[in-house]
C-alpha cells in the first residue's frame, strides 16, 4: 500500500535527522555520496542479528534456514526492483565498485590487444580504473566520449566512437557530478548494433529513476545500497543470464564452487559463482528493507519533490557573482555542482558546515570530468527524499555567509 508523500512524516523515519551540528539543525545535502538510513533498515538488520543470525546456504539447522530465506528474499526483492527476469540475475557484491570489477575481470578472456572499450569523460573512477587495468594488462584501447555544453552525453560522438573494434561500452546512467541522465536504451541499441556488450553504472539512477533492466536491454547494471537509503558494504550486479554464465569467476573460495579435487575445480552457477565466501548477509537484508521502505512512495512524487528542491537552490544562487553551475541538462537529477571564482570548494564546505549544512567538496571521484570542466574540484549539494525547502534555504543562507568570509 502506498504511503502519502509527506516529507515531515518521512523525516520521522530517519533518527539522525533530529540531531544538531555545530549548534544548528542538521541539513544533510550529501546524498549523492551516501544517504541516511530509515528505522526500517536499522531495525531489519538489528532484529536479524538479535533473533536469528547464522551463515547462509551451507547450514541445515533452523537459524541457518531462516537467515538464508531472508537473504534470498532480499535477492528476490532486488530482482523485482530492477524488473530482472529472475533472482538468479542478481549478484550481491560489496558495492557497485566490486560489481564493475567482476565484469571487467570476467570479460578479459574475450579480449585481445586493440579491442576497444568506450567510456565517457563524466564517469566515476569506479567505472574508469577497472578498464584501465585491461588497458595496462591486455593492450585494450579506451575510447572516450565527450559532453555537450549542458553536460549531456554527446550521443553523436558516442555513435561515432562505437565501431567494428568496440567490444564493450561502460557508461553512467546518471552522473554523480552533473546529474545528467543518459538514454540507457539508446546506448544499448548503439552498442548491440556492433555486437558490443553494455554495462550501465546506476549508482545515482537507482534512487532517482524507475530502472527497468529488461526495457533497457543492458547486459550488466550495477548500483550500491548505501545511496538507496540502505547499508554500506552491499551492492548489486545485475547480469543478463547468458552474460553471467559467460563471465569467469572473480574470487575463489567457498560457495562459488561445485566440486573441488586435488587436480581440478568446477564452479557453481550464477549468481553464486560470484559470491565467494560469506556474503554481506545482514547488509543484503538491510538492502531488501530499504527497497521495501522506498517502494511505499510513488516515484513520481519523489522525483517532483527533489526537482522542486533543486530548482529552489538554483534560483537562490543565480545572482551570485563568479558562480558557475556544472551541468544544466534538461530533466537532470537533483544534484547541484558548482564553483565560485576565487573560492576553494573545500574552504566553502568547511565554512558551510559551521551552520549545520553538509555538502560535498572535491573532485567527486571524477577527475577526467573536472579536467573537462576546467577545475580541480567543485562543491556539490545533492537532494534526497527527506530534504525540505527550509533546508535549501538554510544552505543558501550558509552559502552566502561563507562566501562573504572567503571573497
Per annotation, catalytic residue among 203, 218, 365, 375: 365
Give the dihedral of Cα atoms 385, 389, 395, 400; nearest 10 deg. Answer: 160
Nearest residue to 275 (alpha-carbon basis) of 250, 295, 297: 250
CA–CA distance, 221 with 223 (Å, rounded to integer): 7
SS percent in the chain: helix, strand, coil, step 5: 45, 20, 40
Given its phi and psi angles, is residue 51 left (phi above 0), alpha (psi -120 to 50 degrees) or beta? alpha
- Round to whole Å and give the CA distance between 255 and 278: 8
Q: Taking the C-alpha atoms of 88, 94, 95 and 98 in order, what is their torsion angle to the nearest 10 degrees?
A: -80
The question of whether 203 is a catalytic residue gets the answer no
Distances from the Cα of 143 to the Cαs of 117, 122, 140, 204, 222, in angstroms? 6, 13, 10, 23, 21
Q: φ, ψ for residue 198 (rounded to 5)?
A: -130, 135
User: With contact defined as beta carbons under 8 Å apart, do 96 and 232 qualify?
Assistant: no
- For residues 157 and 188, the answer to whether their CB atoms sit within 8 Å is no
Distances (CA, A) of 351 to 18, 206, 402: 21, 31, 6
Residue bearing cell 538489528? 46
Strands 360-362, 378-382: pairing is antiparallel
- Residue matched to cell numbers 574475450: 110
Beta bridge partners of 380: 337, 360
Catalytic residues: 365
Amino acid at each position: 500500500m502506498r504511503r502519502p508523500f509527506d516529507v515531515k512524516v518521512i523525516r520521522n523515519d530517519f533518527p539522525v535527522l533530529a540531531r544538531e551540528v555545530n549548534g544548528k539543525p542538521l541539513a544533510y545535502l550529501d546524498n549523492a555520496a551516501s544517504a541516511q538510513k530509515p528505522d526500517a533498515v536499522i531495525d531489519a538488520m538489528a532484529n536479524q542479528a538479535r533473533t536469528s543470525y547464522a551463515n547462509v546456504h551451507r547450514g541445515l539447522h533452523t537459524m541457518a534456514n531462516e537467515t538464508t530465506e531472508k537473504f534470498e528474499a532480499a535477492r528476490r526483492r532486488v530482482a523485482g526492483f530492477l524488473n530482472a527476469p529472475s533472482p538468479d540475475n542478481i549478484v550481491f557484491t560489496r558495492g557497485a565498485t566490486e560489481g564493475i570489477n567482476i565484469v571487467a575481470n570476467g570479460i578479459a578472456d574475450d579480449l585481445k590487444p586493440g579491442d576497444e572499450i568506450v567510456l565517457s569523460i563524466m564517469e566515476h573512477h569506479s567505472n574508469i580504473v577497472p578498464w584501465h587495468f585491461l588497458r595496462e594488462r591486455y593492450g585494450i584501447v579506451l575510447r572516450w566520449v565527450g559532453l555537450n555544453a549542458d553536460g549531456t552525453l554527446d550521443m553523436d560522438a558516442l555513435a561515432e566512437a562505437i565501431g567494428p573494434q568496440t567490444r564493450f561500452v561502460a557508461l553512467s546512467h546518471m552522473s554523480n557530478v552533473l546529474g545528467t541522465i543518459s538514454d540507457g536504451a539508446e546506448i544499448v541499441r548503439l552498442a548491440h548494433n556492433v555486437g558490443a556488450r553494455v554495462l550501465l553504472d546506476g549508482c545515482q539512477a537507482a534512487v532517482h529513476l524507475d530502472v527497468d533492466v529488461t526495457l533497457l536491454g543492458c547486459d550488466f547494471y550495477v548500483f550500491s545500497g548505501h545511496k538507496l537509503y540502505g547499508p554500506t558494504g552491499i551492492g548489486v550486479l545485475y547480469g543478463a543470464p547468458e552474460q553471467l554464465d559467460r563471465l569467469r569467476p572473480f574470487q575463489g573460495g567457498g560457495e562459488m564452487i561445485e566440486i573441488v579435487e586435488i587436480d581440478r575445480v568446477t564452479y557453481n552457477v550464477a549468481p553464486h559463482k560470484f559470491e565467494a565466501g560469506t556474503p554481506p548477509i545482514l547488509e543484503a537484508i538491510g538492502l531488501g528493507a530499504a527497497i521495501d521502505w522506498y517502494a511505499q512512495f510513488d516515484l513520481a512524487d519523489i522525483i517532483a519533490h527533489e526537482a522542486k528542491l533543486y530548482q529552489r537552490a538554483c534560483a537562490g544562487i543565480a545572482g551570485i557573482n563568479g558562480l558557475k553551475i556544472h551541468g544544466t541538462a534538461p530533466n537532470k537529477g537533483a544534484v547541484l555542482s558548482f564553483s565560485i571564482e576565487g573560492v576553494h570548494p573545500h574552504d566553502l564546505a568547511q565554512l558551510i558546515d559551521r551552520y549545520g549544512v553538509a555538502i560535498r567538496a572535491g573532485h567527486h571521484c571524477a577527475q577526467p570530468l573536472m579536467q573537462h570542466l576546467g577545475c580541480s574540484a567543485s562543491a556539490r549539494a545533492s537532494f534526497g527524499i527527506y530534504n525540505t525547502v527550509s533546508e535549501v534555504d538554510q544552505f543558501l543562507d550558509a552559502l552566502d555567509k561563507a562566501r562573504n568570509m572567503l571573497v
